[in-house]
Chains A and B, each alone.
Chain A
Amino acid sequence: MVLALCCTAIVIGALLAEVLFPRIEAVLDRRRARRLAAERQGPLMGYDPGRERRAEQRARQLLQSCVNEEEWAMYRDLGFIRVWGRQAGLGSAGAPKAAGAVAGAPYAYLIYPHKPVVAFVPQTRRLLNEYCVEFPDETRPYGSARLPDSDDVLAKWMALTGDERGLIGRANMHLPGRQVDPRQVRRDLWRLSEWERERTRAKRSRGGSVPTQ
């Protein structure tokens, strides 16, 4: 009787080992892979909220030092920057006829952090296109961490003001609404017009001028 029970226990143990062993091995493999991936990334690659905040602070200072005062105030107050389009009325060589043309341009862009650039018609607020563009860090072997929000905005601003054609040519173009909610963009355009009206009113009440550069 005892012998039979022992045999049964041994058989059950062997069967259980057969079933459980691969699972245990898989769990250990996954744990090992996670540990290796963490080691490969190094301590700097882990998410550190403090470091990200400091990076964003530096990025905001850099952005402020590069863009026009009006654009910085726009970003600070509204969370996006409007850049006037310059490609309308291209000359034969592809250069804008009026490189300095800004306000009154037939189209403009809204630059949001880590969202597509949205083109629109300022006079009618009609949305034209979304241009999906990213700035991936190719020096990293496994994908890329995102630039701080303000760096992403500055990169788009520099690329748009420095080489609008080049940036638009590289971007993936979509109809409005693909990633950015058109209702939100229209709301932002309305906020922008209110914001500009308020600045103009403040300027008149001060009797001075609102810096536009």
Chain B
Amino acid sequence: MKPGHGEVVLAEGDVEVPAEERELIEAFRRQLDEGMWAAVPTMTNNGRREARMVKAFDDVPRDAERVIFFPRAAGGAG
């Protein structure tokens, strides 16, 4: 997520292909280094959707379709 842009695709690839996985890991680390948070949309056993926050590429489920990066939360004005 990017202010003024909405969703921006950073990298795409198949984790089963080593070269593509490396690219995905690079992109993942770059985003976290820039201070972004990462979340994976998931579905629970009872069918409800929720998000799972991930802090390392290894935490991302292998079958995850996407990882969403968004700015880190901070206490707002007020």
- Enumerate chain A interface residues (CB-CB to B < 8 A): 44-45, 48, 51-52, 54-59, 61-62, 65-68, 99-100, 102, 116, 130, 132-140, 144-148, 151, 154-155, 157-159, 161-163, 166-167, 170-172, 174, 178-179, 213
Contacts and interface: CB of A to CB of B under 8 A. Distances in A.
Contacts of A133: 73-76
Interface of B: 1-7, 34-35, 37, 39, 41, 43-53, 68, 70-78
Given A100-B48, A159-B37, A138 B71 contact: yes
A147 B78 contact: no
B53 to A, nearest CB: 4
Nearest to A211: B47
A38 to B, nearest CB: 16
Q: Is the interface of A mostly helix, strand, loop or mixed?
A: mixed
Contacts of B74: 133-136, 170
A44 B4 CA distance: 9
Nearest to A114: B76
18 contacts: A44-B4, A51-B5, A59-B1, A66-B49, A67-B49, A100-B48, A116-B78, A132-B76, A135-B70, A137-B3, A140-B3, A144-B71, A148-B3, A158-B51, A162-B51, A166-B53, A170-B75, A171-B73
A172 B78 contact: yes
A138 B37 CA distance: 12
A161 B6 contact: no
Nearest to B34: A139
